[in-house]
Amino acid sequence: MRKLIFCLILAIAVLPVSAQYKETFDSNSLGWTECAFQNPIGTAVIDRGVMTVKSKGEKKGLSALASAASGTAVKAGVNTFFETHCYAPLNMERPFEIRARVNVKQLGFDRLVGLIFNYRDGGNFYCFSFNDDFVKFTRYVDNVEVGDVMQGIRWQGKRRTDMEWVLTYDGSMLRFSVYGEPMLTIRYMPLSYSGVGFYSFGNQELIVDEIEFVQ
């Protein structure tokens, strides 16, 4: 009996311990990169319990003319990409799950949003991005897109503005879902960096209510 009890205690002791951390943006507890000043690219601001990420859209007509008059060289019809990130409390060599509650009012061909991960710096990261028509996985190395996988989306009913994004890694597969619906699954890609973030493209606004890390 004593031997049985000892074995049970030993088995419990070696079970993996689940860790969980939720960022609610009541403060910037994980050191997200904020950019509040006006610039040609976009902004990322934490305020009133949410993080708002905005990217600038196309510069047309008077907007492009005003920028040129101010001495800033611009190209009409250019969309911008803007990202913000933190370094998550995750061991990237073990299975994990990232859950985010966000709000996106509009999506389109030139209006995308996405979840960044395996982020080392601004030129080296992975990203799941989507709009109303397609979802895409992209891998960037030294500012170069070195691979991507894309497929169409068929939403179940009308797309809601409030969303839950989930990224799951089981040790070999990456799965990205929205509203609990699988969007895209990618075979194992090497994961080395705990940088996680959000991005927007075009004339876009992404509001992040919370993000949770589970391992």
Position 39 scores a pLDDT of 75
Position 71 scores a pLDDT of 36
pLDDT beyond 50 at 24: yes
| DSSP alpha helix (H) spans, 36-151 | 61-69
Position 152 scores a pLDDT of 95
Longest dimension (CA), the chain: 86
Position 171 scores a pLDDT of 93
Render pLDDT for 159-181 as a digit per residue (tens, 0 to 9): 889 999 999 999 999 999 999 99
Q: Give the pLDDT band (50/70/90) at residue 78.
A: low
Picking from 76, 74, 83, the residue whose alpha carbon sits closest to that of residue 54 is 83
Residue 173 to residues 16, 97, 135: CA-CA distances in angstroms? 20, 12, 17
Render pLDDT for 79-121 as a digit per residue (tens, 0 to 9): 788 899 999 999 998 999 999 999 999 998 889 999 999 999 9
In CATH, the number for domain 20-214 is: 2.60.120.200
Instruction: Delimit the domains of the chain by residue range.
Output: 20-214
Rounded to 5°, angle at Cα 213 from 173 and 193: 60
